[in-house]
Structure 1
Amino acid sequence: MFIAADYPFLDVLWTMLIFFAWIIWFWLLITVFADVFRRHDTSGFAKVLWIIFVIVLPFLGVFIYLIVNHDGMTQRSMNEAQTQRAQMDDYVRSVAGSGGAAAEIERAKGLLDSGAITQAEFDAIKAKALAAS
C-alpha cells in the first residue's frame, strides 16, 4: 500500500509553495530586524517603534519598512560589503608578505646578472629561500 496515494500531486506542490513562502518570510523578518539594528541614523526610540510595528502587524510592518527604507537598506548593505572587502584585502596583504621564495630567488637572480653577487652566493640564497618555504 502506497502512502503517497492519498496525497495528490497538487497538494505536494501547494505544500512546497507554503514551505518556501514560510522560509522567505523568516528571511525577510531577519533582514528587516538586522537592518533596524544596523542603522546609525535613527534613535533607539524609532528602532523600538519599528520592532513593535513588525511584531504587532508582521506583514504590514515588514512591507512598509521595505517600501520606506529600501534605499537605505541597499546603501547600508553595500557599505557593509565594502568594509568587509577592505578588511579582507588588508588581511591578505598583511599575510602575503613579500612574495615568498620565488620573489627572493628572482631578486637574487637580478643581483647575479648585474654582477653584485657570485654564483656561490646566489646558490646559497636560493637554497635558503627554498628551505624557508
Structure 2
Amino acid sequence: MNYPFLGAFVTLLWFCLFAVWMGLLFVVVSDIFRSHDLSGWGKAGWVVGTIVFPLVGVLCYMVLRGDGMSERSAEDRKQRATHYQGFSPSAVHSRAVADEVAKLAELRKQGEITQAEYEREKSRILA
C-alpha cells in the first residue's frame, strides 16, 4: 500500500473541513428561509449568493445578518416546543393509568373483585 501517513491525515483533515463547511452552509440557508423580514427576492438573492460565491456569500451573510440568527433559532425552537407540548408521553401515560384505575373501581363497585384485590392492582398500576 503506497499511501503515507501524512497523506491519510491530510485527506481526513479535508474531509472534516468539508463536513464543517456543509454544516455551516445548511445553517445559513435554513436561516435564510426562516427569516420573516426578508422578501422572496431577498431570500433568492442570498441563496444564489451562497451558491455562486460560497465563501464570500456565507461570510457576508454572517457579518450582515448574523446577529438575528440566534434570535430566529430560539423563536423557532420555542414555537416547536409549544406545538409538541400536547404530545408528551407523560400526558398519554397518565390518561391510561387513570382509565385503568377507573375500570378497577367499576369492577369493585360491581362486586367482581374484592377490596384487597382492588388495592393490590391499584398499587401495581400506580407503581
Query: Above 0.5 in TM-score?
Result: yes
Where does residue 81 of structure 2 map in the other structure? 85
**1:115 is matched with which residue?**
none
Q: Secondary structure at the match of 1:73?
A: helix
**CA distance in structure 2 between the partners assigned to 1:90 and 1:84 by the alignment:** 11
Structure 1 pair 122–69 and aligned structure 2 pair: CA distance change class (3 A): farther
Structure with max Cα Rg: 1
User: % of aligned pairs identical?
Assistant: 30
Shift of 1:28: 1.5
Match of 2:92 among 77, 92, 95: 95
Counterpart Cα distance in 1 of 2:21 and 2:36: 25
Structure 2: which amino acid aligns with 1:49? G
1:81-130 residue CA offsets vs partner (Å, 9 max, x unmatched): 222223333211642334726x949xx8xxxxxxxxxxx87446547758
Aligned to 1:112: none
Name structure 2 gaps, 5 residues minimum: 106-112
The runs of 4+ residues in structure 1 deviating greater than 6 Å are 130-133
Deviation, 1:77, is 1.2
Choose the corresponding residue for 1:13, options 6, 9, 12: 9
Q: Which deviates more, 83-92 or 33-42?
A: 83-92
Mean CA deviation greater in 83-92 or 43-52: 83-92
**CA deviations over 1:32-59 (Å, ceiling 9, x no partner):** 1111111111110110111121122110
How many equivalent pairs are there?
115
Structure 1: where are the runs of 5+ without partners?
109-119
Q: What corresponds to 2:38 in structure 1?
A: 42
Measure the CA separation in 2 of the matches of 1:59 and 1:15.
21
TM-score (norm 1): 0.68
